[in-house]
A and B are shown apart, each in its own frame.
Chain A
């Protein structure tokens, strides 16, 4: 194990209540706090823990996005990543394009392992890791809740609908992480200072030979339908009667 690559996305902070623009052209993003996608933070934390256990491993954080994405990569460096690369673009990047871009970086960097969050909390697509693994022609282990490295193999416990499933994959591999894998560390002030001195390279889609196309067009954005407020009952007897009348009990 020599190098771990972690893919990071800049997204609206998870505490922000996202609202739809009145004209249906999208959601309101002006002045909204942006953060590292929470699942990607867990991905980075896992890479750092492996580095701390194994030693002598380089952790590389990679992101695709607008120039300000440097802020999120600095956060990753402050958490403990050794180096960062930003593929800078103002274009909207679909999961397939993101996977092609990460593949281009992976081909230059040759990581043993690539970690990503299972999904980004903005588009909720849940695609990039699987697509990257397919294009790289390498194994994928999605929704990881436990990662055990054993020589050239990794055992991954996955959170699936029925419970937990364990698979073994050969390295190099792509792992996407779920919520229960770990709890990411807090960044301390001295680490933020140290992070300023770490290398953050900026490149472009062009330089990597990637064409950013919009293959799926978003036509409009609507607020979700609201549920009607229901009735309050005063005691268990009344609750039972209401449910029985509805034929539910």
Chain B
């Protein structure tokens, strides 16, 4: 049997869907017994959500005032202490997990495998390298604890209907005071979250201005989609960086991705190749985006998008 500890990501109220995707990854390991660790100031609400995920045996809560903000320097020693009873420690490949898990691995003195995209055995996995231009199969040493991050775009979220146990734990771990949370600035939260939305409408440099992105927002709101942008559009100042999709932005796997005025640079395609259906609208019929699109339309986005919005 393999005991897998998953580090849950949450904001104190809602469990991030990335956690449910880590559960699906862990379930692909034969004989996995899955525990979700939740660190926070008060994790009662998110613990109930975690315990309801199908396949989760137990949830461990570590509530402590210092855990109110997810600082890697504070969380890592606590996760390392919890890890003693487990063979595998997984976290999501989100900015939360990517920050925290390597620090945890180093405290445990073990290596990490980043971005698991497929499970071939308890210690054998596939992961992308070179921005997804190659996929390696890697094997870890079974005599060591394995720390890994899970590429969330590669896994469906685990369903609900589970009834895991919930326990609270007090850890006598000294926490450092050298790292302090100051604040955060987040984008609008009215629209679906880009990372987890089922539908995403994304704009490129052809939009021409931040003002013109309103066409996309209007259409996205009509179909309940999140809005993304290519790196070219972000670099041109048309959209903030948290909207960026691609190798240097977010890697997403929506049901439908509509690329509007995006040529389809390799680094952008890296971020969308797990989308179920890719729709491309571009005035250049030779744009590389059409090579990967399931449905393509050559034409002027400034006419097509408002027209399409009217039809919906």
Shortest distance in angstroms between A231's beta carbon and chain B's nearest beta carbon? 6
Shortest distance in angstroms between A135's beta carbon and chain B's nearest beta carbon? 5
Q: Is there contact, CB below 8 Å, between A134 and B139?
A: no
Shortest distance in angstroms between A93's beta carbon and chain B's nearest beta carbon? 11
Q: Once bound together, how far apart are the Cα atoms of A158 and B242, in whole Å?
A: 11
Q: Is there contact, CB below 8 Å, between A130 and B99?
A: yes
B290 at the interface (CB under 8 A from A): yes
Q: Is there contact, CB below 8 Å, between B139 and A217?
A: yes
Partner of A124, one of B94, B107, B114, B181: B114
Please give, as numbers and ranges, the residues of chain B lying within 8 Å of A164 by CB-CB distance: 184-186, 242
Q: Once bound together, how far apart are the Cα atoms of A159 and B219, in whole Å?
A: 27
A56 at the interface (CB under 8 A from B): no
Q: Is there contact, CB below 8 Å, between A96 and B106?
A: yes
Partner of B133, one of A134, A224, A233, A237: A224
Partner of A248, one of B100, B176, B184, B199: B199
User: What does DSSP make chain B's interface, helix, strand, loop or mixed?
Assistant: mixed
Q: Which residue of A lies closest to B113 (CB)?
A: A216
Q: Once bound together, how far apart are the Cα atoms of A127 and B187, in whole Å?
A: 27
A180 at the interface (CB under 8 A from B): yes
B167 at the interface (CB under 8 A from A): no
Q: Is there contact, CB below 8 Å, between B307 and A167?
A: no
A138 at the interface (CB under 8 A from B): yes
Please give, as numbers and ranges, the residues of chain B lying within 8 Å of A216 by CB-CB distance: 111, 113, 138-140
B134 at the interface (CB under 8 A from A): yes
Shortest distance in angstroms between A249's beta carbon and chain B's nearest beta carbon? 6
Please give, as numbers and ranges, the residues of chain A lying within 8 Å of B115 by CB-CB distance: 124
Cβ proximity bits A142-179 to B, threshold 8 Å, 1 near / 0 not: 11010000000001001111111111111001000001
Partner of B132, one of A168, A179, A224, A233: A224
For B, the interface residue count at a CB cutoff of 8 angstroms equals 81
Cβ proximity bits A1-23 to B, threshold 8 Å, 1 near / 0 not: 00000000000100001111000
A184 at the interface (CB under 8 A from B): no
Q: Is there contact, CB below 8 Å, between A239 and B106?
A: no
Shortest distance in angstroms between B201's beta carbon and chain A's nearest beta carbon? 11
Please give, as numbers and ranges, the residues of chain B lying within 8 Å of A12 by CB-CB distance: 130
Please give, as numbers and ranges, the residues of chain B lying within 8 Å of A142 by CB-CB distance: 72, 95, 98-99
Q: Once bound together, how far apart are the Cα atoms of A215 and B129, in whole Å?
A: 17
Q: Is there contact, CB below 8 Å, between A130 and B113?
A: no
Contacts A218-B136, A222-B137 given; indicate if A134 touches B187 (C-beta within 8 A). Answer: no
Q: Is there contact, CB below 8 Å, between A223 and B135?
A: yes
A221 at the interface (CB under 8 A from B): yes
Q: Is there contact, CB below 8 Å, between B307 and A236?
A: yes
Q: Is there contact, CB below 8 Å, between A224 and B134?
A: yes
B192 at the interface (CB under 8 A from A): no
B87 at the interface (CB under 8 A from A): no
Q: Once bound together, how far apart are the Cα atoms of A155 and B180, in whole Å?
A: 9
Q: Is there contact, CB below 8 Å, between B292 and A227?
A: yes
B1 at the interface (CB under 8 A from A): no
Q: Which of B35-43, B45-53, B295-303 contacts A (4 or more CB under 8 A)?
A: B295-303
Q: Is there contact, CB below 8 Å, between B295 and A231?
A: yes
B173 at the interface (CB under 8 A from A): no
Q: Is there contact, CB below 8 Å, between A229 and B291?
A: yes
Please give, as numbers and ranges, the residues of chain A lying within 8 Å of B308 by CB-CB distance: 236, 239-240
A99 at the interface (CB under 8 A from B): yes
Q: Is there contact, CB below 8 Å, between A139 and B176?
A: yes
Q: Once bound together, how far apart are the Cα atoms of A143 and B195, in whole Å?
A: 18
Q: Once bound together, how far apart are the Cα atoms of A130 and B135, in whole Å?
A: 24
Please give, as numbers and ranges, the residues of chain A lying within 8 Å of B144 by CB-CB distance: 215
Q: Which residue of A lies closest to B291 (CB)?
A: A229
List 27 interface pairs A-B (beta carbons < 8 Å), by A numbering: A27-B134, A123-B129, A124-B115, A124-B128, A130-B103, A130-B106, A131-B112, A140-B99, A145-B241, A160-B184, A161-B94, A163-B184, A164-B242, A166-B182, A167-B180, A168-B179, A168-B182, A170-B178, A215-B140, A216-B140, A220-B137, A223-B133, A227-B273, A228-B294, A232-B295, A233-B297, A236-B304
Interface of A toward B, CB cutoff 8 Å: 12, 17-20, 27, 94-96, 99, 121-135, 137-143, 145, 155, 158-170, 173, 179-180, 215-224, 227-240, 242-243, 246, 248-249
